[in-house]
Amino acid sequence: MTTIVTVILLVTQLIASAAQERTPEPATADAPDAAATSSIRSFADTDKLCVEWSDGCHACRRVGADEPACSNIGIACQPKEIICTRREDATK
């Protein structure tokens, strides 16, 4: 009986050890991309008169001189082209 218990414990430890050593699965195309998040935040640098912009998933706006504030991406949202949704008056 003790031998059976020992074998079961060894097999359980081997399975647990093998599970920890698995390599992580590659990111899928549906996962939010760091470059996409970076580009939505850096859009303010490319269009200085734009005060609010969106890619259909994120909504961003200028809150200070350099730092934009952006919403989180929704579940299963597919970002589109980034467009300016509100511009600052150029005559100011």
Q: Residue 30's pLDDT is what?
A: 47
Q: Residue 84's pLDDT is what?
A: 94
Domain that holds residue 37: 28-87
Structure tokens at 82: 């980034």
Q: Residue 33's pLDDT is what?
A: 53
What percent of the chain clears pLDDT 90, i.e. is strictly above it?
25
Q: Residue 13 falls within a domain, yes or no?
A: no
Which pLDDT tens digit goes with each residue over 10-53? 777 878 776 666 555 555 444 445 555 568 888 888 888 899 99
The domain tally of the chain equals 1
Whether the Cβ atoms of residue 80 and residue 55 lie closer than 8 Å to each other: yes
Q: Residue 9 falls within a domain, yes or no?
A: no
Q: Residue 50 falls within a domain, yes or no?
A: yes
Q: Is the pLDDT of residue 76 over 50?
A: yes
The CB-based long-range contact list for 33-37 (8 Å cut-off, 24+ gap) reads 36/79, 37/73
